[in-house]
């Protein structure tokens, strides 16, 4: 599939929002903004097939990030004003996050007053580079929170992670999907929770698909969950309803499509 042009990204891409749910209260603690493509017939599809290609070019990457931030400005800021307890996270590679480009976009889009409600997601591998560390520092000094995404997929030592300055630890779905069948995975999860507690970090389990996984995670002390069990990524209208209603581990939930 060819790489979309900057013009096509600006016109056809938008954001949908996957809820991040507090495992203890059932309240929606936040949303992750995920790129989606609006087709000519109005249908919405995942952008997963072209994201890696877009990220290889600085011009298309900048336009994509601006488009997602513009969607957050349009969709989430009105909800920020009505609901005081939630945040929105967005994946921003260090090459952009550490360049000052994000702060320029934030000012252009008039998002500056809302920076405390926005979290930048950086993968574990990205965070451990010199550029990644600089980007994390720059983001936090601007007032944004920082989340380490896909934790558990890299080969870093715990002391390397402990040396980073961030707020949220997102545990990768590859570990979550094995906690019920693999005792080692369960022990690793509890170790990660203990590490996060010692570092005063907020924990989010990604890729939660079943009630049993959600219950196990809550019992293990994980703060929040994200995944099929609660919802696919949805429009801002549906996100507003979720903020009003919340969730409960005691009731059934509709399955959605995989995060991408």
pLDDT of residue 156: 56
- Whether 252 has a pLDDT exceeding 70, the answer reads no
pLDDT of residue 66: 95
Interatomic CA distance for residues 232 and 254, integer angstroms: 9
Q: Which residues of 9-20 are buried (b: 16+ CB within 10 A; e: fewer)?
A: beeebbbbbbbb
- Scanning the structure block, which residue is given the tokens 């488009």? 67
Cα pseudo-dihedral 167, 57, 172, 138, rounded to 10: -10
C-alpha count within 13 angstroms, C-beta hemisphere, residue 213: 25
With contact defined as beta carbons under 8 Å apart, do 178 and 185 qualify?
yes
Average pLDDT, the chain: 89
First to last CA, the chain: 17
CB 64 within 8 A of CB 13: yes
Assign domain 6-245 to a CATH class. alpha beta
Alpha carbon distance 132, 153 (integer Å): 17
Give the pLDDT confidence score for residue 150 in this predicted structure. Answer: 87
Euclidean distance between CA atoms 111 and 119, whole angstroms: 13
Write out pLDDT tens, residues 85-108.
Answer: 999 999 999 988 888 888 899 999
Q: Any idea where the domains of the chain sit in the sequence?
A: 6-245
Q: Which pLDDT band holds residue 250 (cuts at 50, 70, 90)? A: low
Q: What is the pLDDT of residue 254?
A: 46
Q: Are 151 and 169 in contact (CB under 8 A)?
A: yes
Q: What integer pLDDT is reported at residue 189 of this predicted model?
A: 94
Nearest by Cα to 20 from 194, 205, 249: 205
Report the distance separating Cα 204 and Cα 226, nearest Å: 7
């Amino acid at each position: 599939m060819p790489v979309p042009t900057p013009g096509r990204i600006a016109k056809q891409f938008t954001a949908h929002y996957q809820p991040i749910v507090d495992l203890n209260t059932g309240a929606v603690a936040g949303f992750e903004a995920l790129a989606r493509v609006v087709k000519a017939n109005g249908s919405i599809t995942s952008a997963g097939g072209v994201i890696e290609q877009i990220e290889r070019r600085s011009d298309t990457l900048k336009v994509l990030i601006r488009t997602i931030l513009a969607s957050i400005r349009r969709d989430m800021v009105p909800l920020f004003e009505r609901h005081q307890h939630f945040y929105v996270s967005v994946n921003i590679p260090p090459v952009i996050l550490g360049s000052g480009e994000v702060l320029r976009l934030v000012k252009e889009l008039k998002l500056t007053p809302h920076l405390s409600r926005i979290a930048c997601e950086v993968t574990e591998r990205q965070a451990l580079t010199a550029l990644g560390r600089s980007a994390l520092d720059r983001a936090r000094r601007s007032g944004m929170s920082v989340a380490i995404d896909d934790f558990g997929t890299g080969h870093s030592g715990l002391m390397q992670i402990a040396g980073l300055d961030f707020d949220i630890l997102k545990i990768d779905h590859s570990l979550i999907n094995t906690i019920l069948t693999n005792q080692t995975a369960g022990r690793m999860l509890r170790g990660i929770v203990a590490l996060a507690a010692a570092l005063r970090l907020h924990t989010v389990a990604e890729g939660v698909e079943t009630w049993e996984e959600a219950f196990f995670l809550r019992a293990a002390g994980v703060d929040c969950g994200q995944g099929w069990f609660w919802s696919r990524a949805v429009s801002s209208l549906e996100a507003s309803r979720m903020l009003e209603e919340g969730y409960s581990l005691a009731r059934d939930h509709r399955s959605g499509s995989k995060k991408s």
